[in-house]
Amino acid sequence: MNPDLQNQLLHAQTRRHFFRDCGVGVGKIALASMLANGGVPLAQASSSDTPAPPHFSPRAKRVIYLFMAGAPSQLELFDYKPKLKELEGKPIPPSVIAGQRYAFIQPDAAVLGPQFEFAKRGQSGIEISDQLPHLSRVVDELTFVRSCHTDLFNHSPAQLFMNTGNGVPGRPSMGAWLSYGLGNEANDLPTFVVLKSGGSLSGGSGMWSAGFLPSKHQGVPFRGEGDPILHISNPAGIDRNIQRDTLDTLERLNSLQAERTGDPEIDTRISAYEMAFRMQSRAPELMDFSQETAATLQSYGAKPGNGKAAFANNCLLARRLAERGVRFIQVYHSGWDHHSNVAGGIKGQTRQTDQACAALIEDLKQRGLLEDTLVVWGGEFGRTPMVEASAALGRSQGRDHHPQAFTMWFAGGGMKPGLAYGQTDELGFHVVEKPVHVHDVQATILHCLGIDHERLVYKHQGLNFKLTGVEEHHPVTDLLA
Amino acid sequence: MSNSRSHFRLASPTATLLAAVILLSQPFAAAAAGVDFNEQIRPILSDKCFFCHGPDPETREADLRLDVRQDAIDYLAIVPGEPDESELIRRIEETDPELKMPPPHSKRSISPEEIALLKQWIAEEAPYQQHWSFNRLEPTDVPTQADSKWPTGEIDQFVLKRMREKGLEPSEPAQKAALLRRVTFDLTGLPPTLEELDAFLADESANAYEKVVDRLLASPAYGERMTAEWLDVARYSDTYGYQVDRDRYVWPWRDWVIRAFNANKPYDEFVTEQVAGDLLPNATDDQILATTFNRLHPQKVEGGSVPEEFRVEYVSDRTQTVATAFLGLTLECARCHTHKYDPLTQTEYYQLSSFFDNIDEAGLYSYFTNAVPTPNLLLASKEQKASMSSLRDRIAQHERELAALEQQTPAGFQHWWDNARPLKPEPVVLKESTSALKAEPELVPGRIAHLDFEEWKNDKNVAVPGVKGQAIKLTGDDAVNLEVGNFRRFQPFSVALWLQTPDMKERAVIYHRSRAWTDAASRGYELLIEDGRLAASLIHFWPGNALSVKTKEPIPTGEWLHVAVTYDGSIEAAGLQIWINGQPAELDIVRDELTKNITGGGGDNIAIGERFRDRGFKNGMVDEFQVFERELTSLEVRQLHDGSSLANLLQQPLESLSTENRQLIEQYYRSNFSDAWQTKQTELQQARQKLCDLVDPIPEIMVMRENTEPHQTYLLQRGVYDAKGDAVESAVPAALHPFPQEAPANRLGLARWLMSRDNPLTARVTVNRYWQMLFGQGIVRTPEDFGSQGAVPSHPQLLDWLALDFMNHGWDLKRLMKQIVMSSTYRQTSRVTADDLAKDPENIWLARYPAHRLPAEMLRDNALAVSGLLVDKIGGEPVKPYELEDSFKPTPRSKGEGLYRRSLYTYWKRTSPAPAMTTFDAAKRDVCQLKRDKTSSPLQAFIMLNGPQYVEAARGLAERTLKEHPEDVTAGIEHMFRLLTAREPSPQERKVLEELHALNTDHFAANPEAATAYLDVGDKDFDKTLTPSQLAAMSVVASTLLNYDECMMQR
């Protein structure tokens, strides 16, 4: 065989020595090897130790994904449909809804008008709800997509679909794919961090799973109380010095073992323990909001230690993680499933989230981070133009699940600011212009990070899997600056 | 195996394959005297060409297929002997992007080395071979290396031959101590004890090692170790999965597996019983229990889900699990389209799935009840079975006696007729409402409710003119609720009403006693319109545990009908009758298997016209709704319908009655007035109640049971549940060996086919998986994919020899394990020189033992074992160690011994597994998984250094040690070192540890409260007889050792 190739392969196999930091090097090699081979990962990776370039020039280095679990009503927030007001109380025309199915309502239910006033905001004149006074301020920074649609209409599968590209648990999530493809920027924090507020998540931990990717790519959930990362604190009675002594002893033992066995893998273990130690030092600093000015805390509405401000706290923490080089920050906020009293529900949720979302955009911008941080906001599907009401369930003036159309917004990271993209029909039922499928959303996010979604593949059980499934999907280039 | 290596393997799954092909292709070439199609050509064609020019006609471009030689030749794509004439080569070498293959947009490309191989292959006449794994297993000659004394058995002969072809020689044997540690973990999942270690070191007999192996294989821990791995294959979980992810009761199956491994059940029986134990002749409960294997897939409960969508999902999961676990085939892609790489059509996928599509199951489990999804097995004890049997005998006896009574004119009849029969001038007028029952004599006794709607106060349902006075017209969304109706299944009862349906209903709920439809699996009873017909049912869990009958004819629309449903308490469909206008309707029996309660779940009383998330009786009308706590007789039903039948008969002279009428009136008398009959009926009912009371609390477990009427399977277009294509029958893929002629076309036949001598796959897949278990990597490094996209075997002849040998020796698993661990290959040291490492970095050729990290379970079990905390108990319900309190959906930890059981008993919640397990790469158990990653990450360090389980275990180890060596620190350190590594520390190692100990002793002596705080971690109290500072210092050393490479690795 080609001796060069042979050398390259050998080199690739042995140069793990050089990657003392197990977080940094490997992902880059993964990408390099994919690039070298037209998408199918092969072993003869680039022979240089410098990180390989991505598929094309990335606009974003990291993502903050504000996932609004439960599915916010686009009709109360971003997709204004005065026609619904006109038709309120009348059954929706059968032609519109032929063949659709719903979780709770009958398909011939009556129309429910928008519950709030809308107005044009900013220079761009994008129309959004009066329930979003803070977001209204930053509308010109945002890219709205009103023509999102999905394949699934129950929470758990739809959330998994949005996070992993598949409705059944077991596939790698977007953050895991990016960790695999791009590696870590930080050497003292995980690549992929998960923050949660507002109640339980239907999709479960499958939403930040590494799936069939190596488990180190899975999202690390930061916990609401106690240690931000499981067992990151030393046990009671063990201080930092003892832990350091332990680690020093371990390193000496392991180095002796490396000599004894000739096994270079041991270096990887040593560096994992070193990174653990760095994370231990980093975590308290990361979580210490006292470094933030009162003005910053106030702008987010953040109140350290106060569960009622959990979302605002998480947004601020997300910015701090972004500053420290975390690649993918997934912020989940549950509580948007308004089958009844959608007006009251939206009011409650926007009160909890509007200010912090806007503050995050402004804060990132002011710190120069918005340029290379992609912020994503959205739920798992939309809500029906029809009312949901059921005496048996004690529901009225609500909206049911609606996979046919919903709105997401993006900011920074190479997206075109001040844009409203796509259109639904006058009832807000179907997308009529520029449909954007969930897989297109995912392809677009990867694109912003310099990755061709068709080339970020992983071979598993004989097949090349990718985040965006087997059907044809594309990044929406019209959205890019 | 740690981070980097696994990274390279996983980031580059074909690395192994390429290494085999590129680095080491010479010997292949030498052996095959040319390019080897299966080793070298198929992988290129498969990866680069078959997507558009392979087996799938749907995506085939330009009508060209390259997977069939003659087609490729006919097309002139390949001209044997003439690479330059072959279109295949021309197009690959083409520079015009319009013509180049693979087309640039496909993002596939062929390297110059690969092109050279293809050319050489065509020059050599382009021979094709069947894909290697589909070749029948034929006897393989064992090579001999006459000059070497190294081989112990056949395995070593094969391995040595390959090794030498690569210019490698075997390593030294491992040290005895290291070997004992290695084999003890491999066969039991636990470390050796010091006694075992000393005994082995002292045993100088020639077969000392073999004795150890035999001891380990005979130990009960062997079954636990083997089971821990099988749980990944079987996607075992203690919860259902999906969103709600409620607990389910499946651990008795896990204990079956432990017993099977420990009894060394031959692997063919082990598989046959799990796939089709229920179909074995005279299947025992244990054999039926084995089939829980097929039901371990995730199951759904979320409201609004379409049951059929998920039922189809379950069938697919079962099919794919069997294909992956036993055939090593990636069937999943054939679900939506014909496989692009392997010879499996979409039709064949559904033919195979048809074997698993014939059980009476629901697509959703029940949200409002804890019913076990059907079909299931009652896990009754011997005593319970005996009691059930004697109660059944007693019931049968009562039934016979009652039937005999019904053959005679009842005693007292004449007297009653003459003196006591209810004579009324007018038909009885039923006026009382539910709230105010009047105690007047009745023609039709036993009534407990009556709604006549005369004083109905309109809500959404409105009063309309009815049969008598007013009736009610229903919205379908609003129920009319009664305050009665919570009958148990042994109680006779009847419901009568007038109804009118405005149109032909596909589905409508007329009345029911239940909390919900699919959300409660219809627990209770109900009268529905289905496809225009009336259907009455008593239900524990729909569809598999219910009585249900349906009228043969649709009911007329737009007219009033009198409908009655009577039930005799017999718990049989024959005892359930629908009457229309006073006449028994002709019925089909839809279900006749009710074994558990119909009460519970909520919705205890009857509701009319609406049900939670079901379709109500929209615009239907109902009048004169009555409920009786007995089975009405025929005359009584007629009376309710026409208001005269019974009353008129009672007016007649007895002599004038026809024989038929005489019988009817006797029946009426018996049911209402005969003491003898009523006494017997009461005895019968009491016996039935006893049986129900006995059976209802006995747990059930999901198993397989074939439908009596076979369920038709269809091809589903694009895999979508409601896009039915052609009907298909059970069959196996044509590319594989034929289905045995004498075998039945069901799962049992399928199991016979799987375990057939002609099956090229199952034995290969199995020995490969166990090889992987013992060496960290399989001979085929893609254990789940033996198809053309999988890796090629590193030692094909060895794999074939082992597989055939395994079959020829009765699929004897303990023998296979022993055969492997006895080999010289297994007994080598894992130490490696830089030179050998460079020659074979991935250790494909096994010139040394392949070190790898212990799996999650063993890391934890090791810590528990050396600490003395491990609770040595086999089986039983899952336990909740500390880490479950830190999982995504936290659950309180067990108290006491539940914290210290082996890890295979750790409660597995699909959406929230123990983080300590998943951080160490435990399988997620969503689907069948045959291989785990072995990564190392900082999060693992946190668990091992700081997690309470490990902190407590380190302290336990230190306590043990201090008790054995109270004065001598050095001896104590050596003791711990030996427990964890099986060897003595080197002087340097000892020194490093002594230093750590000294530092900590000083520190804790100066900070006694820190020592106590540290020692207080965990539920178990620390030993107060020991000096806290000394114990804490020793615990830190123990903790350090638990994190030491040699403790975490299998070396």
Would you kindly state where each structural domain of chain A is located, as residue ranges? 1-53, 62-222+288-479
Shortest distance, CA B378 to any CA of chain A (angstroms): 31
* Residue written as token pair 């990564």: B935
Say whether B23 and A200 touch across the interface (CB within 8 A): no
The separation between the first and the last C-alpha atoms of chain A, rounded to the nearest angstrom, is: 47
Residue B843 CB partners (closer than 8 Å, separation 6+): B777, B850
Residue A322 in tokens: 């972004």
Q: How many CB atoms lie within 10 A of CB B454?
A: 14
Instruction: For chain A, give the number of residues.
Output: 481
Whether residue B655 lies inside any domain: the answer is no
Confidence class for position A392, pLDDT limits 50, 70, 90: low
Q: Which amino acid is at A217?
A: H
Share of chain B residues as helix, strand and coil, in percent rounded to the nearest 5 = 45, 10, 45
Backbone angles phi, psi at B385, to 5 degrees: -65, -40
Residue B973 in tokens: 């350190």
Q: Which of A222, A232, A243, A263 is nearest to B3 (CA)?
A: A263
Whether residue B156 lies inside any domain: the answer is no
Buried b (16+ CB within 10 A) or exposed e, A332-365: bbbbbbbbbbbbebbeebbebbbbbbbbbbbbbb
Cα A116 to Cα A135, A401, B206: the distances in Å are 15, 19, 87
H or E element: which one contains B774?
A: helix B762-775
Let me know how many helices (H) and strands (E) chain B has, helices first: 38, 21
Q: CA quadruple A322, A324, A330, A335: dihedral positive or negative?
A: negative
Question: Are the beta carbons of A153 and A104 closer than 8 angstroms?
Answer: no
Check residue B18 and give its pLDDT: 34
Q: Is A396 on the interface with B (CB under 8 A)?
A: no
Q: Which domain holds residue B89?
A: 23-129
Check residue B334 and give its pLDDT: 86
User: What gap in Å lies between CA B401 and CA B618, rounded to an integer?
Assistant: 46
Rama region for B719: left / alpha / beta (φ>0; ψ in -120 to 50; rest): left
- Report which of residues A427 and A27 the model is more confident about: A427
Chain B residues within 8 A of A1 when measuring between CB atoms: 22-23, 25, 113
Check residue A342 and give its pLDDT: 96
User: What gap in Å lies between CA B853 and CA B855, rounded to an integer?
Assistant: 6
Q: What share of chain A in percent tops pLDDT 70?
A: 85
Check residue B143 and give its pLDDT: 95
Chain A residues within 8 A of B243 when measuring between CB atoms: 154-156, 202-204
CA angle, corner B278, sides to B275 and B281, nearest 5? 115
Residues 174..233 of A with a Cβ closer than 8 Å to B: which?
180, 190, 200, 202-206, 209, 211, 213-216, 218, 220-221, 223, 229-233
Distance, C-alpha A108 to centroid of its chain: 35
Q: Which of A31, A79, A139 is nearest to A346 (CA)?
A: A79
Check residue B437 and give its pLDDT: 39
H or E element: which one contains B712?
A: none
Q: Which amino acid is at A299?
A: S
Question: Are the beta carbons of B887 and B893 closer than 8 angstroms?
Answer: no
Please list the ranges in chain B whose pLDDT falls under 50: 1-32, 425-441
Q: Is A100 on the interface with B (CB under 8 A)?
A: no
Q: How many CB atoms lie within 10 A of CB B721?
A: 18
Whether residue B96 lies inside any domain: the answer is yes
- Of B108, B129, B150, the residue at which a domain comes to its end is B129
Q: What is the CA radius of gyration of chain A?
A: 24
Q: Which of A145, A176, A178, A215 is nearest to A62 (CA)?
A: A178
Shortest distance, CA A149 to any CA of chain B (angstroms): 19
SS3 B52: helix
Question: Are the beta carbons of B43 and B36 closer than 8 angstroms?
Answer: no
Residues 392..431 of B with a Cβ closer than 8 Å to A: which?
none
pLDDT in tens, A183-238: 888 888 989 999 988 877 888 788 998 888 877 788 888 876 667 888 999 999 99
Q: Is B1043 on the interface with A (CB under 8 A)?
A: yes
| Beta pairing partners, A329 | A64, A193
Q: By CA distance, what is B921's nearest residue in A?
A: A215
User: What gap in Å lies between CA B906 and CA B251, rounded to an integer?
Assistant: 11
Q: What share of chain A in percent tops pLDDT 90?
A: 60
Say whether A459 and B1016 touch across the interface (CB within 8 A): no
| Beta pairing partners, A196 | A332
Say whether A462 and B1039 touch across the interface (CB within 8 A): no
Question: Are the beta carbons of B92 and B115 closer than 8 angstroms?
Answer: yes
Q: Mean pLDDT, chain B, as a whole number?
A: 91
Residue A146 clears pLDDT 70, i.e. is over it: yes
H or E element: which one contains B702?
A: strand B700-702
Q: By CA distance, what is A265's nearest residue in B?
A: B2
- Tell me what ipTM this predicted complex has: 0.84
Residues 14..43 of A with a Cβ closer than 8 Å to B: which?
14, 16, 19, 22, 26, 29-30, 33, 37-43
Residue A377 clears pLDDT 80, i.e. is over it: yes
Q: Which amino acid is at B497?
A: L
- Of B95, B129, B163, the residue at which a domain comes to its end is B129
Check residue A461 and give its pLDDT: 66
SS3 B207: coil
Q: Which of A145, A199, A204 is nearest to A173 (CA)?
A: A204
Q: Mean per-residue pLDDT for A246-266?
A: 92
- Of B77, B104, B129, the residue at which a domain comes to its end is B129
Residues 229..288 of B with a Cβ closer than 8 Å to A: which?
241-243, 245
Check residue B1018 and give its pLDDT: 96
Residue A105 in tokens: 């309502």
DSSP string across B513-569? ESS-SGGGTT-EEEEEEETTEEEEEEEEETTTEEEEEEESSPPPSSS-EEEEEEE-S
Check residue B567 and give its pLDDT: 98
Say whether B936 and A268 touch across the interface (CB within 8 A): yes
SS3 B13: coil
User: What gap in Å lies between CA B169 and CA A416, rounded to an integer?
Assistant: 63
Check residue A391 and give its pLDDT: 67
Cα B372 to Cα B132, B249, B301, B512, B595: the distances in Å are 44, 8, 12, 22, 12
Q: What is the CA radius of gyration of chain B?
A: 36
User: What gap in Å lies between CA B723 and CA B728, rounded to an integer?
Assistant: 14
Cα A475 to Cα A27, A34, B336, B798: the distances in Å are 22, 19, 25, 48
Residue A87 CB partners (closer than 8 Å, separation 6+): A111, A113, A427
Beta strands (DSSP E) in A173-254 are 192-197, 220-221
Question: Hey, what's the torsion of the CAs at B382, B387, B391, B397, to 10 degrees?
Answer: 80
Shortest distance, CA B395 to any CA of chain A (angstroms): 42
Question: Hey, what's the torsion of the CAs at B800, B802, B804, B810, to 10 degrees?
Answer: -160
Q: Which amino acid is at B158?
A: F
Whether residue B548 lies inside any domain: the answer is yes
* Domains of chain B: total: 3
CB pairs under 8 A between A and B: 322
* Minimum-distance CB partner of A242 among B332, B936, B1000: B1000
Whether residue B584 lies inside any domain: the answer is yes
Residue A228 in tokens: 């931000």
Check residue B1041 and give its pLDDT: 98
Strand A192-197 to strand A220-221: parallel, antiparallel, or no bridges (unpaired)?
parallel
Residue B265 CB partners (closer than 8 Å, separation 6+): B273
Question: Are the beta carbons of B341 and B788 closer than 8 angstroms?
Answer: yes
Check residue A48 and give its pLDDT: 26
Say whether B245 and A235 touch across the interface (CB within 8 A): no
Cα A394 to Cα A103, A340, A386, A389: the distances in Å are 16, 8, 17, 8
Is the peptide bond between B375 and the residue preceding it cis, with omega within 30 degrees of 0?
Answer: yes
Q: Mean per-residue pLDDT for A422-431?
A: 94
Distance, C-alpha B842 to centroid of its chain: 35
Residue A32 clears pLDDT 50, i.e. is over it: no
Backbone angles phi, psi at B935, to 5 degrees: -105, 170
User: What gap in Å lies between CA B993 and CA B987, rounded to an integer?
Assistant: 10
Whether residue B753 lies inside any domain: the answer is no
Residues 138..167 of A with a Cβ closer than 8 Å to B: which?
153-156
Let me know how many helices (H) and strands (E) chain A has, helices first: 14, 17
Range A62-222+288-479 has CATH code 3.40.50.1950: no
User: What gap in Å lies between CA B89 and CA B118, rounded to an integer?
Assistant: 8
Crossing angle of helices B796-808 and B154-165, rounded to 10°: 170
Instruction: For chain B, give the number of residues.
Output: 1051
